[in-house]
Amino acid sequence: MAVPFLDLKRQYARIRSEVEPAVAEVFSTQYFILGPNGKALETEAAAYLGASHAIGVASGTDALLLALRAFDLAPNEGVLTTSFTFFATAGAIHNAKGRPFFADIDRATFNLSPDSVREFLAKKCAREKDGTVRHKETKSAIRGILPVHLYGLPCDMDELMAIAKEYGLFVLEDACQSFGAVYKGRRSGAIGDAGAYSFFPTKNLGGAGDGGMITTPSSERAARLQKLRVHGGRERYYHDEIGYNSRLDELQAAVLRIKLRHLDEWNKERANVARLYNEGLAGIPEVVTPQVPKDRNHIYHQYVIRAKDRDGLKAHLEARSIGAMIYYPVPLHAQKCFAFLGYKTGDLPETEKAAAEVLALPVFAELSEAEVAEVCGAIRAFYGERC
């Protein structure tokens, strides 16, 4: 049995009768930019997330970039983040004129390790008389922490927020993979000073194209972000600063408003798929299934295992027409474009180990029990053949 890695057509079949009239209404009004759907989505998303303000933008990448701009990074000021993430996390720091610094990940969750963050700040940085935290080697002032709620599992935000408070740093949450995930009763992305979300079509809450959103508890920062997304001006043709063309269009907002109503149900169905995988893969010594701390919930944007001979297993699954992906094969500190940062192999051992072992299996709300069993059976066969 072929098993697709993702099949969005199945999702669309469930909501087609809701989506098509909403899209047709947008065309009938011919109101495509910063219209009523966008405003309504911002209100509904803020209420769902428990955020004071939500600002729609053109993509998750722009959400990170504009949020960083709103923190007024000076050239070469540092933001501490994870190397085990999608490129946009560190790319946005660089494009906001900052300098990415990387701490290691937690072995169990794949998320930014608070212990590694503390070690970085204690050993590689010094605090000056005015409170500035400065990296000893590069002399960069460290301004913020950018944790990534990877694969849909929230980071240990209590620890990271405590560290940020101790050192006077801002916290920008990369929640691009975790819309709807909960940490100790609070939605990911609505805990720090700002949060960034992606509505890329493959996300749990995905649009019909690119889209993103920023949340913040600060009214002042929200107003700044609303300016930044329209070339830096409140009033047309009057510009307070140099901003961007980054607006969430009405077609995306209309689709996302409908999908938001179904999101909790879909996330529960994804969790059930994960439960079936956990049961089906139990007892295989070469496989480690996702570890979820009791104080948070995982929305399984990706279901990611650690696997012995990962590349061999991936080839085995693909030969049987079973989808599998590697998120991420090359950590950011090892990417050619970031060679100027000076990192070398061995600097982030847990990150590098994860990059060599992780494999994402098919996961979406409509995946059937039979399809999960097919994947588990293929994995068991692979390791059985090698015993």
- Write out pLDDT tens, residues 154-190: 999 999 999 999 999 999 999 999 999 999 999 999 9
CB atoms near residue 223 (< 10 Å): 14
Q: Give backbone dihedrals phi and psi of 307, rounded to 5 degrees, phi first.
A: -140, 135
Mean pLDDT of 131-149: 97
Span 368-375, average pLDDT: 98
Report residue 258 CA to chain centroid gap.
21
Mean pLDDT throughout 99-109?
98
CA–CA distance, 98 with 247 (Å, rounded to integer): 23
Residues facing 145 on adjacent strands:
80, 171
- This prediction has a pTM of 0.97
- Enclosing H/E stretch for 195: strand 194-198
CA dihedral sign of residues 368, 269, 146, 220: positive
Q: Which CATH class is domain 8-103+112-258?
A: alpha beta
Distance of CA 84 to the CA centre of its chain: 11
Distance from C-alpha of 171 to C-alpha of 142, rounded to nearest angstrom:
12
202-238 pLDDT per residue, tens: 999 999 999 999 999 999 999 999 999 999 998 899 9
Per-residue pLDDT band for 329 (boundaries 50, 70, 90) equals very high
Map tokens 């994860």 to a residue. 354
CATH architecture of 263-385: Alpha-Beta Complex (3.90)
- What pLDDT score was predicted for residue 18? 98
Q: In the predicted model, what is the mean pLDDT of residues 110-137?
A: 97
Which run of H or E residues covers position 30?
A: none
Average pLDDT, the chain: 97
pLDDT category of residue 385 using cuts at 50, 70 and 90: low
Residue 386 has pLDDT above 90, yes or no: no
Q: Are 176 and 20 in contact (CB under 8 A)?
A: no
Residue pair 126/171 in contact by the 8 Å Cβ criterion: no
Where do the domains of the chain lie? 8-103+112-258, 263-385
The residues facing 191 across adjacent strands are: none
Q: Span 275-291, mean pLDDT?
A: 97
pLDDT, tens digit, for every residue of 333-365? 999 999 999 999 999 999 999 999 999 999 999
Higher pLDDT, 387 or 78: 78
